[in-house]
A and B are shown apart, each in its own frame.
Chain A
Amino acid sequence: MTETSTVRAGLGAPPPEDTILDVRNLRTYFKVMDGTVPAVDGINFSLGRGQTLGIVGESGSGKSVTAMTIMRLLDIPPAEIGEGSEIWFDGREVLSLPDGEMRRIRGNEMAMIFQEPLTSLNPVFTVGDQIGEQVKLHMKVKDREARDHAVEMLRLVGIPSPERRAKQYPHELSGGMRQRVMIAMALSCEPKLLIADEPTTALDVTVQAQILELLRAIQQRTGAALMLITHDLGVVAEMVDNVVVMYAGQVVEQGTVEEVLIEPRMPYTMGLIESIPTVEKRGGKLSAIHGVVPSPFHLPPACRFEPRCPYRWETCRQVPPELYPAGPSGRTARCHLHLAEAAPRREAAIAQHDQNMQVGRRLDGTPDRIGDA
């Protein structure tokens, strides 16, 4: 039984029970001095309970703004959420909740981990204090219990001597430990949804692996759903079930992680995969997607990727592509290559992509081709 205030008229129907997060037609604009920036321009995706979703994209693609919008952490001027956007969390539509209700959800049922653990922690309070205040607020317990719980959380995320650490200040901990503290803080009230915004970008590689391992373990233990935002395809490959690729504020490809990473069907994703330097590509030229991400004030009129796309043709400059089905399993891609009449182009593009993936030699000097056993 939901008591959602249907303050915004005309809401759609709630999603099925096993879907924890359903984002529909989300648009977030920013009004700035030079105009209006459509940071997120009509995206849709959903996340099932206990599942992991990866949101992939470059800086400026809108992925962080999406997360902040879901948590309703944006300041409303200058940000503005478009009419018709709906975010369903655990059966309730979140954008129409009054502030007080939203605050009860934030930190409690829905929590977020940020990228920079040093600046994200308040330097003048101890670590234990910062975890404890959240626990006290949402779980309505006394100081002593909150403190004990905080220590337990620190232990859970693998920090040694948690009682001592809880009394320390953020600057006294290492980067990896600070991120663990952030995770402990986010998990302290046992949320159903954990949003991680580039959680490992600021850390070095070995620590990165530990943190990811930790996230996975926590997820399995608590059954929380995880929305992982990153630009690092390696992290995506390891951690997620499903992938959403964003470009210039739009979703451009969607599917399971195997589908999207191994057999990408949208030229942008193809370009991303091709640009990963792998051992197989030794000796060949590193490829990159030429051109730059368009300025939000000068978005291409039709397909936003068109100026940089190696497979474009006239239609791409004239008609904005929809998210067309790109395979039997419900995967989609925002590219005209998936129109029925573009089948030969599609084949050609896929073949080209396969060829690009083979560039390079084997370690003994002989050229390598996919298909050789």
Chain B
Amino acid sequence: MTQNIEQAALVTGEIVEPDPTAAEDYEVGLKSLNQWQLAWRKFRNHKLALIGLGLIGILIAVAVVGPVLMPFNFTDVPKPDEIVGAGRAPSLAHPMGETGGLQRDVLTLVVNGARTSLLIGFTSMAIGVFIGTIVGAIAGFAGGVVDNLLMRLVDVMLSLPTLFVILVASRFLGNGTVATVIVIFGLFSWMGVSRLVRSLFLSIREREFVEAAIAVGVRDRRIIFRHILPNAFSPIVVVASLLVAGNIISEAFVSFLGFGVDPTSPTWGNILSGGLQFITQGNWWWPLFPGLAIIVTVLAVNFVGDGLRDAFDPRSRA
């Protein structure tokens, strides 16, 4: 396409040869990020998620280090100068007040409770995700009768009102230890995850058959995993965060009823349990603070879950 241009150039003396790379000058502004970088960027912009992450960090720090730093042991019964049956309101020495009955420091109880409650929440979620992934993978991979059976099992488990069953199981099988509670909760947390993982594996299976037909090779299978797994990440993370939140609340209730963890290890739930009877005597701080602790924790977990979900959602803006 140069002939006439050159003639024109001869006339006017100036011409710029069209430069095939010139159009790319104007594309420089867009960097291409990979999936994880994109997700991190979106997460960073999500203010609530960052707050949540921060809160969780603080909570974990409190849980790990707190009990060591507390001036009291949670079993300490301070020798009070006066006996106040219903406990004393928050004061400088006891910022969250004292319990009734044994008059223990509520702050210490809450801090110690953090350890157990958080441990239960996260570990039972981990168990649930683990079991759910395995079940879902088997169901999705094997297909057919196995898949059907497993999914019927999931249906059955989901039809039983979870709290009911956990309560009953905790009462009947529980022995008051933290480990038992974690196991029981974990055993009832896997159903949602299994469904997700199953659909993921179903889609892998279909593609694999296509690949086999074209007879491509191992490399592509790995590519499939690299592409598909990040897609699964988002919904699993959301479910996981809901699980942590839900399990913390459920554990609180179960312990509150006395079916869960023994008061020898405080959890926010069994701390609340003691508080109910003294409420009519005007002790509002004893149940208030553990409850607030639960709320803050669950909020933080939900924020992070929301942030992660938005971060991995391909439709949301970066």
A residues neighboring B (CB under 8 Å): 33, 290-292, 294-295, 297-298, 300, 307-314, 344-345, 347-349, 351-352, 355-356
Asked if B80 is at the interface of the complex by the 8 Å CB criterion, the answer is no
Cβ-defined contact, B317 with A307, below 8 A: no
Q: How far is the CB of A330 from chain B (nearest CB, A)?
A: 27
Cβ-defined contact, B29 with A298, below 8 A: yes
What bracket does the count of chain B residues touching chain A fall in? 20 to 34
- CB < 8 Å: which of B7, B24, B317 contacts A33? B317
Q: How far is the CB of B13 from chain A (nearest CB, A)?
A: 10
B 20-68 contacts with A by CB, 8 A:
20, 22-30
Q: B294-318 interface mask toward A, CB cutoff 8 Å, 1 = contact, 0 = none? A: 0000000000000000000000010
Given the interface pairs A344-B12, A345-B12, the reply to whether A310 lies near B23 with Cβ below 8 Å is no
Closest residue of B by beta carbon distance from A348: B8
Asked if B206 is at the interface of the complex by the 8 Å CB criterion, the answer is no
Question: How far apart sit A356 and B4, CA to CA, in the bound complex (Å)?
Answer: 12
Q: How far is the CB of B22 from chain A (nearest CB, A)?
A: 5
Cβ-defined contact, B14 with A313, below 8 A: yes
Given the interface pairs A314-B14, A356-B1, the reply to whether A348 lies near B7 with Cβ below 8 Å is yes
Cβ-defined contact, A295 with B26, below 8 A: yes
Q: How far is the CB of A150 from chain B (nearest CB, A)?
A: 36
Cβ-defined contact, A297 with B29, below 8 A: yes
Cβ-defined contact, B16 with A312, below 8 A: yes
Interface SS, B side: helix
Interchain Cβ contacts under 8 Å between A and B, 27 examples: A291-B22, A291-B24, A295-B30, A298-B26, A298-B28, A298-B29, A300-B26, A307-B23, A307-B25, A307-B26, A310-B1, A310-B5, A312-B16, A313-B14, A313-B15, A344-B8, A344-B12, A345-B12, A347-B8, A348-B4, A349-B4, A349-B8, A352-B1, A352-B4, A352-B5, A355-B4, A356-B1
* Residues in chain A near residue B26, CB distance under 8 A: 294-295, 298, 300, 307
Beyond the given A312-B16, A313-B15, could you list 11 further A-B residue pairs with CB under 8 A, ordered by the A residue number? A295-B26, A298-B29, A310-B1, A310-B5, A311-B5, A314-B14, A314-B16, A344-B12, A345-B12, A349-B4, A352-B4
Q: How far is the CB of B23 from chain A (nearest CB, A)?
A: 3
Closest residue of B by beta carbon distance from A345: B8
- CB < 8 Å: which of A290, A294, A309, A351 contacts B20? A290
Question: How far apart sit A345 and B20, CA to CA, in the bound complex (Å)?
Answer: 21
Question: How far apart sit A352 and B20, CA to CA, in the bound complex (Å)?
Answer: 18
* Residues in chain A near residue B14, CB distance under 8 A: 313-314
* Residues in chain A near residue B29, CB distance under 8 A: 295, 297-298
Given the interface pairs A291-B23, A292-B23, A298-B26, the reply to whether A312 lies near B18 with Cβ below 8 Å is yes
Q: How far is the CB of A26 from chain B (nearest CB, A)?
A: 25
* Residues in chain B near residue A292, CB distance under 8 A: 23, 27
Cβ-defined contact, B23 with A308, below 8 A: yes
Question: How far apart sit A312 and B1, CA to CA, in the bound complex (Å)?
Answer: 14
Q: How far is the CB of A345 from chain B (nearest CB, A)?
A: 5
* Residues in chain A near residue B8, CB distance under 8 A: 344-345, 347-349
Question: How far apart sit A274 and B280, CA to CA, in the bound complex (Å)?
Answer: 88
Asked if B11 is at the interface of the complex by the 8 Å CB criterion, the answer is yes
Question: How far apart sit A32 and B158, CA to CA, in the bound complex (Å)?
Answer: 43
Question: How far apart sit A59 and B16, CA to CA, in the bound complex (Å)?
Answer: 29
Cβ-defined contact, B23 with A290, below 8 A: yes
Question: How far apart sit A309 and B23, CA to CA, in the bound complex (Å)?
Answer: 9
- Give the 4 A-B residue pairs with the shortest CB-CB distance, closest first: A291-B23, A348-B8, A348-B4, A298-B29
Question: How far apart sit A295 and B30, CA to CA, in the bound complex (Å)?
Answer: 9
Question: How far apart sit A352 and B22, CA to CA, in the bound complex (Å)?
Answer: 21
* Residues in chain A near residue B11, CB distance under 8 A: 344
Closest residue of A by beta carbon distance from B17: A310
Q: How far is the CB of A127 from chain B (nearest CB, A)?
A: 30
Cβ-defined contact, A348 with B5, below 8 A: yes
B 182-212 contacts with A by CB, 8 A:
none
Q: How far is the CB of B240 from chain A (nearest CB, A)?
A: 28
Q: How far is the CB of A349 from chain B (nearest CB, A)?
A: 8
Q: How far is the CB of A362 from chain B (nearest CB, A)?
A: 22
Cβ-defined contact, A295 with B27, below 8 A: yes
Question: How far apart sit A298 and B25, CA to CA, in the bound complex (Å)?
Answer: 10
* Residues in chain B near residue A298, CB distance under 8 A: 26-29
Cβ-defined contact, B18 with A309, below 8 A: yes
* Residues in chain B near residue A314, CB distance under 8 A: 14, 16
- CB < 8 Å: which of A33, A294, A313, A351 contacts B4? A351
Cβ-defined contact, A310 with B18, below 8 A: yes
Given the interface pairs A297-B29, A348-B7, the reply to whether A313 lies near B22 with Cβ below 8 Å is no
* Residues in chain A near residue B7, CB distance under 8 A: 348
